[in-house]
Structure 1
Amino acid sequence: MKAVVNYAAGKGKVEIREVPIPQLGPKDVLIKVMAAGVCGSDLHMYHDIQGFEVKRPVTLGHEYSGIVAEVGREVTLFQQGDRVVSETPAYVCEKCIYCRTGQYNLCPTRRGFGVLEDGAMAQYVKTRETIVHKIPDSVSFEKAAMTEPTCVAYNAVAHHSRIRPGDYVAVFGPGPIGLMCVQVAKLFNPGQLTIVGTKADHNRLEIAKQFGADTAIVADEQDVVKEIMSYGDGLGPDLVLDAVGISITLKQSIDVVRPAGQITKIGWGPAPVGFTLDPLIQKAARLQGSFSHNWPMWEKVLLMMAKGELDPLPMTKTYGMDDWKAAFDEMDSLVHAKSIVCPNS
């Protein structure tokens, strides 16, 4: 089968290769991939600037949907022809305290698709029965492939953050996760919802407004801290969502967060912060990390997609597998927010 493979370390070491169709274990499900999202982590691996361990060669892709092609002999919940999505942990130990309490996204030995295990930017992918979900009839394969980034946003906003109707919410970064954070936060009826980006993010800032942002701040044209603090009583946002992952946005988050407020950090970044955290202490503010997602979040997000309460499709553009490089490069250049590759179209 054809697959988009990151075959070695180094910039641009990605190409289409012929690889074997995965062999199933007794509890595995083989999915014919109909849509696979390009994640920022895929782009980081494409440029070899990721801050995490990678097993190369590896088939990229961890955001995907498709049709069940085959099931292992002990699989009982799914059958050939089912429309499905799968979560991202290709392997977890199933024995640690986190696995046993449903927090398997935090399993110390977790291995994710497209990084440490072969992923879904291929004609077929193998996954585990326990992390597969059926797609509602009204949800397209393209929309379903966006369940994973939407669940990242749901986990950050609805699970890890304290958010109430009327709150002032600021989101740093109009990438796919930041944009979906805007959509999820909007469900809580915030009093003010602000998005921060750059001039290069012009198209994505317009999508943020479409998704529910009240105000967009352009960081290279405006004083970010001054603009954020100008709303309301001047004490800052109740909740700041940092979906960027660079040092400056974390510093700005600490500068603007309201006393007794919260910062939820989602974006990854290997650079040291290089500044004091004393203002966080003085404000008695909470800094919370958020990572990945789990089973109940996927079920809720799929239901909200079916009802039209969450819809990531306006930020996407679809490509055939042979056009994977255009999908990567156009997303990388911020022409649009999210690329979807369709291996079997």
Structure 2
Amino acid sequence: MKALMKTKPGFGNLHLLDIPEPVCDATGIKIKVRYSGICGTDMHIYHDSYKSYPPVVIGHEFSGEVVESGKNVKNINPGDIVMVLPSIAWTCKNCMYCKQGYYMFCSERRSIGSGVNGSFTEYVVVNKEMVYKVPSTISLQEAALAEPLACAVQAIEELTEFHAGDWVLLSGPGPIGLLCLSLLVRKGCNVIVTGTSQDLTRLNIAKELRAHTIVDVFTQDLQEIVDELTEGVGVDVGVECSGAPSAVNTSIKAIKKLGKYIQVGIIGSDIEMDMDSILYKQIQLYGSYAHSMQTWEKVKKILSTNTIDLKPIITDVVPLSEWERAFEIIESKECGKVLMYYDFEE
């Protein structure tokens, strides 16, 4: 089967190669990948600004159909349509973080798509703890967004409280930002979404998802807009999803005294941060790194009740054979979530 692999460290080094089909052991579940989303992490791996363990098949956001389950696997059978928690391909299961469900902080953790072979291919074998049946309320394409939705759920539902009527500044209208927006709108928040002139497509999706205001920071004065909307007080919460260094201090400046700041986007480099404003405004600062076991329980409930609309966020579906075009679409930012599907005949 074909697979898109990071073959060695350094910029680029992604190649479509022939590899053997994975073998399903007694505790494994073999899944035929139907749709796999391209994540910001995949782009960081491409740019060599996120740790990976090449040679490795990249890709970790996916849905698919079970084609084989090991003899020790219960309740997951061939034919089941599933989504996958990719971050626990390998954890120690014994450290304090694993025992509390905060597997992201396990020092031995390896994730699908960076530490072990991932989903930009035809078949993946995973362990039974990673597999969740897809609710009948959503499509296979929407199910491929389960993992990025989990990232948004932790940031918006678990770290702190949001209230109806809150003003929220959301920087970065990429897929994670749009998912955060959907959750915030569901809470009744007034969300100001910022992007650049390159983000016009994404900002229009944000408007469709009922953002209160969209702002092009290249052509509009964000602080002036925030002051006008909040009567000079500032936003209650800043949610930074872009990973752009310039967005950090811009967000902090817009936050009110005793406000909150949540970092969701990966910046990938050291930056200078306005710590004095955090001090003088007494801003509460949060980092949101992926998700936990309790997050996935919330994701299942959200998807099974169909309480947010994921369809507008999916803008492009591209065959794996055209992965370079798919990556170019993401680099251009003229898209929401880009999915890929396996299109090679064996």
Q: TM-score, normalised by structure 1?
A: 0.94
Alpha-carbon distance in structure 2 between the residues aligned to 1:275 and 1:80: 51
CA distance in 2, matches of 1:331, 1:306: 29
Confirm whether residue 297 of structure 1 aligns to residue 284 of structure 2.
no
Match of 2:198 among 180, 185, 200: 200
Residue 182 of structure 1 corresponds to which residue in structure 2? 181
For residues 41 and 68 of structure 2, the distance between their equivalents in structure 1, rounded to whole angstroms, comes to: 29
CA RMSD of aligned residues (A): 1.6
Assess if the C-alpha contact under 8 Å between 2:29 and 2:125 holds in 1.
Answer: yes
1:155 is matched by which residue type in structure 2? Q
Q: Which residue of 2 aligns with 1:173?
A: 172
Aligned to 1:43: 43
Whole-angstrom distance in 1 between the partners of 2:222 and 2:228: 10
Distance 1:259 1:109 in 2: 40
| Separation in structure 2 between the aligned mates of residue 313 and residue 341 of structure 1, nearest angstrom | 15
Worse-matched range after superposition: 91-100 or 274-283: 274-283
Aligned partners of 1:109, 1:13: CA distance in 2, in Å? Answer: 25
The answer as to 2:76 corresponding to 1:78 is yes
- Is contact 1:171-1:182 (8 Å) kept? yes
User: What whole-Å deviation, never above 9, does each CA across 1:273-293 have from its counterpart, x for those lacking one?
Assistant: 224401101111111000111
Match of 1:98 in 2: 97
Q: Which residue of 2 aligns with 1:211?
A: 209
* Distance in 2 of aligned mates of 1:150 and 1:332: 21
Contact 2:28 2:73 in 1 (8 A): yes
Match of 1:4 in 2: 4
Instruction: Classify 1:143/1:298 alpha carbon distance in 2 versus 1 (closer, same or farther; 3 Å).
Output: same
Corresponding residue for residue 308 of structure 2: 310
Deviation, 1:139, is 1.4
The residue identity in structure 2 corresponding to 1:183 is S
Kept after mapping to 2: 8 A contact 1:30/1:71: yes
Q: Is the 8 A contact 2:45 2:51 kept in 1?
A: no
Displacement after TM superposition at 1:9 (Å) = 2.9
Q: Matched residue of 2:235: which SS?
A: coil
Judge conservation of contact 1:77–1:129 (CA < 8 Å) in 2.
no
**1:56 & 1:37 partners in 2: Cα distance?**
20
Partner-residue secondary structure (3-state), 1:111? coil
Q: Secondary structure, in 3 states, of the residue corresponding to 1:44?
A: helix
Distance (Å, rounded) in 2 between the aligned partners of 1:234 and 1:133 = 46
Correspondent of 1:261 among 235, 259, 262: 259
- Per the alignment, in what secondary structure is the counterpart of residue 261 of structure 1? strand
CA distance in 1, matches of 2:136, 2:313: 22
Q: Residue 151 of structure 1 aligns with which residue? A: 150
The alignment partner of 1:220 has SS state of coil
SS, match of residue 259 in structure 1: strand
Q: SS of 1:288's equivalent?
A: strand
Residue-pair matches, total: 342
1:130 matched to 2:129: yes
CA-to-aligned-CA distance 1:49-101 (integer Å, 9 cap, x gap): x1x32111111101001011112221113111111111122111110111111
- Post-superposition offset of 1:179: 0.8
Give the distance between the partners of 1:299 and 1:289, measured in 2 at CA: 21
Name 1:226's counterpart in structure 2: 224
Aligned equivalents of 2:66, 2:202: Cα separation in 1: 34
C-alpha separation between the residues in 1 aligned to 2:142 and 2:110? 25
- CA drift of 1:187 comes to 1.2
Aligned counterpart, 2:108: 109
Q: Deviations over 1:170-197 (max 9, x none)?
A: 100001111111001111111x210000
Residue 324 of structure 2 aligns to a residue whose secondary structure is helix
Q: Give the gaps of 5 or more residues in structure 1.
A: none
The answer to whether the 8 A contact 1:33-1:344 is kept is no
Q: Does the Cα contact within 8 Å between 2:36 and 2:62 map onto a contact in 1?
A: yes
Q: Does 1:20 align with 2:20?
A: yes
> In 1, Cα distance between the equivalents of 2:196 and 2:221?
12
Tell me whether 68-77 or 173-182 shows the greater mean CA deviation. Answer: 68-77
What residue in structure 2 maps to residue 65 of structure 1?
Answer: 63
- Give CA deviations for 1:213-270 in whole Å, capped at 9, x if unaligned: 0101111111222222221231111111000123221111211111111101011113
Query: If the length of structure 2 is used for normalisation, what is the TM-score?
Result: 0.94
For 1:36, give the aligned amino acid.
S
Is the CA contact (8 Å cut-off) linking 1:305 and 1:311 kept in structure 2? no
Cα displacement (A) at 1:143: 0.4
Q: Tell me if structure 2 keeps the 8 A contact 1:161–1:264.
A: no
1-structure distance, mates of 2:160, 2:226: 19
Give yes or no for contact 2:90–2:110 (8 Å, CA) kept in 1. yes
For residues 186 and 120 of structure 2, the distance between their equivalents in structure 1, rounded to whole angstroms, comes to: 32
- Where 1:318 maps in the other structure, the secondary structure is strand
Alpha-carbon separation, structure 1, partners of 2:311 and 2:160 = 25
The question of whether the paired residues in 2 share the 8 Å contact of 1:246 and 1:271 is answered with no
Q: Secondary structure at the match of 1:230?
A: helix
Q: Take 2:259 and 2:245, find their aligned partners in 1: how far apart are those partners?
A: 20
